[in-house]
Chains A and B, each alone.
Chain A
Amino acid sequence: MDFIREMARNTNIPVLAAFFLGIMTAVSPCPLATNIAALAYVSKRVAHRKDTIYASLLYLAGRVAAYTIVGALLIYSGLGSSAVSRFLQKYSEWFLGPLLIIFGLIMLDVIKISIFKGRVTAKLQEKIGDRGLIGSLLMGFLFALAFCPYSAVLFFGILMPMAIETTAGVGLPPIYGIGTGLPVVIFAVALTLGVSEMGKHIERLQKVERYLRKVIGVVFIGVGIYYVVLLVKSFF
C-alpha cells in the first residue's frame, strides 16, 4: 500500500500517478463498497468463465468511459471543476443508496422489471440481459460517477489539476478509470480460475449459481443501506 501511495504522489510520469490514484480510489471505503457490489454482480455466472470476464471488462469499460467524459468536459469545456464535483457528489448522496437497494430488490425478484419485454427476442434477452453484460457496463458508468468526498478529492483535487497541467492530459482520466476498476477484474478472473478447478463438481456449481443471484441481491441492499445510513447520519 505504501508503494501505491508513493507512486500516486511522487512521480514525474503522470500516467503512473493517474493509475495508482485509481487504485487508491478503488480500495478507499466508499468506492470499495460499490466495487464489492460490482464484483458480486459480474460474478453471478461464475461457472461460465467467459461471461464473468466479459462482464468485469465491461464494468471496467463503463468506469473508464465515465471518467473520460468528465475529464474531457473539464479540460475542453472550461466547466468549473469544483462545481462539477459538488454536483456529482450530490447525485451520489441522494441517489446511490436507494438505487442500490432497488437493484437488490430486483435481483431478489421482489421488484420485477423486464426492459426487453416485447422489444427483443427471448434469445437476445438471454444473451445480454441474463448474462448481465449491459448491466455491467451501465453499473461501471454509474458507480464511477457516484463520487464520495474522498474519491472527489483524488479525482478533482489531485488528478484533474495534474491532467490540466500535463500535455495531452486528457489521457489521464481513462488511465485513472482503469485503476479504479482493475481490482474487480482481477478478483473476478481469480474467482473464475478458482471455480474452474472445481470442474468435476459442475452440477453443484450450477445449483450454487441459482442461489448466487439472491446473495448478490442481499449484497446490493447491504451496500445501499450503508450509503443511506451515511446520508441519514449526516442530518444529525
Chain B
Amino acid sequence: MSMSKRIMVVAVSLLLLAVLVAGCRAKQKSDSSNGNISKSEVEKVELLYFHPRIRCLSCNNIEKYAQEVAVKDFSSKMKDGKLKFESLRIEDPANKALVDEFDVGGSSLYIVASGNGKKVHHPIKDVWLYWDKEGKCKEIVRNELSEYL
C-alpha cells in the first residue's frame, strides 16, 4: 500500500472513530410531553393523526391501526365523547392552526390530553418503527392511550 493510501486509511479511521465517540454519550431524557397531567384530571383525549397529501403504505397503515384501536379498544370512551380520533391533512388551510401549534413536519401521531386547565401533547413515535406489524403497532397505541384513559 502506498504512503498516500495509508494516510487516507488512517485519516478515515480517525474520522470514523471521532464520529463514534462523539455520538456515544447517552442521550439525556427529555420530556416529550408538554407538561404533565394525571389520569384522574383527564377530561378529554384526542388522538390526532397528521399526514401530508402524498402517503404510501407505511403512513396509511399507521392511520388505520391507530383508528382501529380507538374505535374498537376504547369504544366506550369514543361513545362518551371522552376520546376522539381525527385524521388531519397538513396542507389543508383549515388545519393550519393545529399544524402550527404542534409544529408538524410530516406524518405524525399525537395524543392530546386535556383537563383541569391543563393540556398535554404527547407524540407517539415508536409506532413508526412497526408500520408493518399490526399487532405491535396497535399495542403501542393502546398502551399510550391507556396512560390517559
Residues on A close to B: CB < 8 A?
5, 8-9, 12-15, 18, 24, 28-30, 80-86, 89, 93, 147-150, 152-154, 156-158, 161-162, 165-172, 174-175, 230-231, 234-235
Contact = CB atoms under 8 A, between A and B. Distances in A.
B59 interface: yes
B11 to A, nearest CB: 14
Interface of B: 18-20, 22-28, 30, 32, 51-59, 90, 103-108, 123, 125-126, 128-131
Given A149-B55, A152-B105, A157-B125, A175 B23 contact: yes
Contacts of B25: 14, 166-168
Nearest to B30: A165
A5 B125 CA distance: 12
> Could you tell me the dominant secondary structure of chain A's interface residues?
helix
Contacts of B52: 86, 89, 93, 149
Contacts of A93: 52-54
- Residue from A148, A154, A162 whose CB has the most chain B CB atoms within 10 Å: A148
Contacts of B90: 86
Nearest to A160: B105
A89 B55 CA distance: 11
Given A28-B131, A83-B105, 18 more contacts: A5-B130, A9-B126, A12-B26, A15-B23, A24-B129, A30-B56, A86-B52, A149-B58, A150-B107, A150-B131, A157-B106, A158-B128, A161-B30, A167-B25, A168-B22, A171-B19, A171-B20, A231-B54
Nearest to A156: B105
A150 B27 contact: no
> Could you tell me the dominant secondary structure of chain B's interface residues?
loop
A18 B123 CA distance: 19
A214 to B, nearest CB: 28
Given A5-B130, A157-B105, A172-B23, A230 B28 contact: no
A165 B126 CA distance: 18
Contacts of B105: 81-86, 152, 156-157
Contacts of B18: 171
B111 to A, nearest CB: 15
9 contacts: A9-B126, A15-B23, A18-B23, A86-B106, A149-B56, A150-B128, A166-B25, A168-B22, A231-B54
Contacts of B130: 5
